[in-house]
Chains A and B, each alone.
Chain A
Amino acid sequence: MVRVNSTNQAYDFLRPWSKEAPFVRRGLGVVIDNGRILVTAELVANSNYIELERADSGEKSVATVQVIDYEANLATLSSTDPKFLAGMQPVQTTTHVKTGDDLSVLQLESNGTPVSTRALVTSVEVGKYALEDSGYLMFRISCPLQFRENSFTLPIVKDNKLAAFLMRYDSRSQTVDAIASPVIEHFLTEAQHQPYKGFPRAGLAFSPTRDPQLRKYLKLQDSDGGVYVNQVDRNGPAAKAGVKEGDVLVAIGDKQVDPDGNYLHPVYGKLSITHLTTTEAYCGQQVTMTVIRDGMRKQLSVELFRRSSEDYVVEPYTIGKPPRYYILGGLVFQELTRQYLREWGANWLKDAPQRLVYYDRFQSDLFPEKRKIVFLTQILPTQDTVGYEQLNNLVVEKVNGRKILNLDDFAAAVKNPTDGFDKIEFEEDPHEIYLDAKQVDEDTAQLQKVYSLPALQRL
């Protein structure tokens, strides 16, 4: 184990030219093979500076992120000093963990002595990880933990092998949500290949078929089991293989799907079928989905792949990456991201601009085409924006007659003003505004100076 101290600084999505105040997160990393150190992605998200510290000697070294997966909440680091880990023993992982097993959560005393706390696995299930959209295998563990330095994330071991990584601890109920070893193994295996492909998804959503009236209507036998496919991502793996909304998914490979969407795992017991397509299988692999459509069984071969955050109309997360923006005469334009909406705080679903929250939530239904939502976020008042001061959070449809599907379109469109004016058309009131293109150009230097903007655009 090594101490990992990461100084992180996220971008401020309300002022996309700035970063928020930096803060430090301290956790523990585990030395695995080839000089790699495993940590959670949260620990080093938006990191500016990562420091490793040996518990035995107190010796420090700078580390860099090798591979990071925010969805699986895992990352590998390496020291810039190749000799830093000399003499340390790499740890193996184990997937032989069952409900009822005794594990140990490891911490370090301030003097470097390892402390181990006994922990009981209370359940194994697919649960929510750090990002709301991603669910992977999780060990729920009961254990009383005391706060110590570097406790942000902690390794959990069984028989001296890594079994899990502490991701969340609730001190009131004394329960731990831990990243389960099958997820860790999937990540480490995939991380050995360049480029890193991540965890695949089937690209479908399902609901139970317990309702006897629904089963009768769908002409399902009791022995069929199966779940009702209520959503298929456009261009996702399931869609490409021909899975359709309304199909009943009864098997994945040789695993039968029960009416609640579970299958029988040899070690963990009943488990959501999500685990089969996200963690058991790798990107590029084929799985066979058996569906019942109009009472007929069909077998479809699905090639699994990952959908990256960038592929969404509204990116579900933007971490370690600066937000794109374009400032035109004091009007600030950005591409909509969930991170922007999250700036409204814990109650962002209620407090953030409702139209934008709605666009994010129902993006797959609302926007069939590949695009981003470019919108006017705010106004830095100048003489060019007189009368526009109250405008904000307006989605841009066209600029100078050109349809705007991303910020690059926007940047290109403002190069071609019509009769000397930039015409910006919004989806809602006031529907259209104009800027004097020449005047905006002349005022740009002053705008940048008055508002101390480091740059007027980032594309």
Chain B
Amino acid sequence: MIRCIALVAFFIVSDAIAQVPKAVDIRKSLVRITATSQEQDYKVPWNPGSTTVGVGAGFVIDNNRILTNAHVVSNARFIVVEKEDDPERYPALVQFVGHDCDLAVLRVLDKGFFQNTRSLGFGGIPAIESPVTVYGYPIGGDRLSVTRGIISRIDFQTYTHSAIDSHLAVQIDAAINPGNSGGPVMQDGKVVGVAFQGYSGDVAQNVGYMIPTPVIRRFLKDISGGHYDGYVDLSITYFKLLNPAERHALGLPDNEQGVMVSSVSSEGSSQGILQQGDVLLTIDDHPIASDGFVQLDGERVEMPEIVERKFKDDTVKFGIWRDKTKQTVEIRLKGNWPYLIQANHYDSPPRFVLFGGLVFQPLSKNFIDAYQIEDLRLRYYYDYFVTDEIYKTHPEVVVLSNILPDPVNAYLSDLRFQVVDSVNDKKIRTLEDVADAFAQKSDYYVIHFVGSVRPAVLERSAVEQARDRILGNYNVHKEQYVERGLTH
């Protein structure tokens, strides 16, 4: 993919040299976005959360749409967009959001907004060392800001918005500050990236990143079906076959080809098709080198890059080496939900159940971050949720996350952060199970936890007596929220 991209870039650069670059009046395309957001409060999950106002940038693209970063408009309750040279503030809505690629498309309710605007077109990947211009509304003033830089590096990076996804990103030496987010990075009159993340000055100076056009194009193509499906994944891990003894033992020739499948996620695309120990020789007919790289148009790219470009229900074909014979398998691609436990979650309220002053919440990244969890079992369940397939017994790890002190739970404080195993002998697999168990009429509710931990016993009459007292004292206006938000 990188090679392919470099080629595209080459054409654009040579194209630019051949013609005089068109001057673009960025003022007709740039949009200032002010979003009022409510950040979810995982420690007090019934709270609506505190509101913050953030400013970001966006730009007009075809079909009267505005492209920006997902993080500019995440958890937004109210969004207004402004154009240069127009005093009016136009309310806008999020039409599509991809938290896994930090991109969003906005719709402006007043169609008059797009009069006199000019939609920007996209270029390829700019060449290393070539100059780019960054537009946005970074801190340091209220008006449009322009900075220049050159392309420093093209590499895979973690997209910090979701914290688990990595895609291609381009590093530039123009600083990218809050308020630059979502703004276009331009070269020769075309958008070559969307500014999206950087480092604070304490860590590194003049390091900014932009989302390059292959990622943008993929997002726009994905939403063209009217719904954002998100990235798909092979959901396997593989091991580079660099050791000669290992190659010989597997019966492979010394042709420096093939990687070994080391695990196959049971909820992922490859389940039932690939097995641990299979050697992947080719992907879509491209030979896979023993270090996991694939030769694409003369450039070496990592094997999963082939899958990066695909969409939900697309297929990928592998030539594999199993039981010392060659075989071909085809995999229909999809996402892998267990990974999402380690992703930042946006746009829907925290899920919880409150009963007898005990707060139950599913384990998630937002939860871990909010509580700064150090409990060993919880850390293990979180870190190894995918690798050790903890999701098979606990699709959700339901935690007794907090205790609102009241006479009904006076002796239970030491049980905080235990993982719920069962309620009245019913195994708890999800938060819904907890809500259901407490909805059943019973004289006692006996909560057993994972491991050698004493049970918590709540008497129904005591819980009922305590209910209004707890709701009143702790200003709880909602006793549970169990609905699941959309994953994308």
Which A residues have a C-beta under 8 Å from some C-beta of B? 205, 207-208, 210-211, 213-214, 216-217, 228, 230-231, 245, 349-350, 354-355, 357-358, 361-362, 364-365, 384-388, 419, 421, 423, 428-436, 439
Contacts and interface: CB of A to CB of B under 8 A. Distances in A.
A47 to B, nearest CB: 33
A230 B453 contact: yes
- What interface size band does chain B fall in? 35 or more
A208 B245 contact: no
A208 B249 CA distance: 57
Contacts of B454: 207, 214, 228, 230
B243 A385 contact: yes
B270 to A, nearest CB: 15
B241 A213 contact: no
B168 interface: no
A230 B452 contact: yes
A355 B380 contact: yes
Nearest to A419: B249
Contacts of A388: 243
A366 to B, nearest CB: 10
A307 to B, nearest CB: 16
Contact of A428 (B245, B387, B458): B387
B451 A384 contact: no
Given A211-B412, A357-B376, A434 B263 contact: no
8 contacts: A217-B444, A228-B454, A349-B376, A364-B452, A431-B277, A434-B250, A435-B245, A436-B245
A306 B397 CA distance: 37
B249 to A, nearest CB: 4
Contact of A387 (B241, B388, B446): B241
Most chain-A Cβ atoms within 10 A of its Cβ — which of B237, B239, B387, B458? B239
B377 A358 contact: yes
B464 to A, nearest CB: 13
A358 B376 contact: yes
B330 interface: no
B48 interface: no
Nearest to A430: B239
Q: Please name the 4 residue pairs, one residue from A and one from B, whose CB atoms are nearest each other, closest first.
A: A387-B242, A211-B411, A231-B452, A430-B239
Identify the interface centre among B240, B380, B412: most chain A CB within 10 Å of its CB.
B380
Given A362-B451, A434-B245, 18 more contacts: A207-B414, A217-B446, A228-B454, A245-B452, A349-B376, A354-B379, A357-B376, A364-B452, A365-B452, A387-B240, A387-B242, A421-B248, A428-B388, A429-B387, A430-B239, A434-B248, A435-B245, A436-B244
A386 B241 CA distance: 10
A205 B457 contact: no
B401 to A, nearest CB: 20
Contacts of A213: 408, 444, 457-459, 462
A318 B158 CA distance: 41
Interface string B377-421: 101100110011000000000000000000010111010000000
Contacts of A214: 411, 454-457
Contacts of B242: 386-387
Contacts of A208: 411
B259 to A, nearest CB: 10
A364 B451 CA distance: 10
| Chain A contact residues: helix, strand, loop or mixed | mixed
Given A216-B459, A429-B263, A205 B243 contact: no
Contacts of A211: 410-412, 457
B262 interface: yes
A349 B412 CA distance: 25
A354 B106 CA distance: 43
Contacts of A355: 380, 384
Contact of A384 (B239, B245, B377, B459): B245
A350 B249 contact: no
B260 interface: yes
A365 B376 contact: no
B479 interface: no
B286 to A, nearest CB: 22
Nearest to B242: A387
A430 B444 contact: no
Contacts of A384: 245
Main SS at interface, chain B: mixed
A419 B277 CA distance: 17
Interface in B262-298: 262-263, 276-277
Nearest to B261: A431
A386 B243 contact: yes
B483 interface: no
Contacts of A435: 245
A358 B419 CA distance: 15
A362 B378 CA distance: 12
B388 to A, nearest CB: 8
Contacts of A354: 376, 379-380, 383
Given A217-B457, A350-B374, A434-B250, A387 B243 contact: yes
Nearest to B450: A365
B246 interface: yes
Given A213-B457, A217-B444, A386 B244 contact: yes
Nearest to A362: B451
B458 A434 contact: no
B260 A430 contact: yes
A433 B457 contact: no
A433 B243 contact: yes
A362 B260 CA distance: 32
Interface in B444-474: 444, 446, 451-459, 462
Given A208-B411, A230-B453, A358-B380, A431 B263 contact: yes
Between A207, A357, A384, A430, the greatest number of chain B beta carbons within 10 A of the residue's beta carbon is seen for: A430
B376 A205 contact: no
A119 B153 CA distance: 68
Contacts of B374: 350
A436 B248 contact: yes
A336 to B, nearest CB: 15
Nearest to A429: B262
Interface in B109-132: none
A226 to B, nearest CB: 12
Contacts of A387: 240-243, 246
Contacts of B412: 211
A137 B318 CA distance: 66
A431 B387 CA distance: 12
Contacts of B452: 205, 230-231, 245, 364-365
B151 to A, nearest CB: 30
A423 B376 contact: no
Contacts of A216: 457, 459
A362 B377 contact: yes
Contacts of A423: 249
B389 to A, nearest CB: 11
A432 B456 CA distance: 43
B205 to A, nearest CB: 30
B245 A439 contact: yes
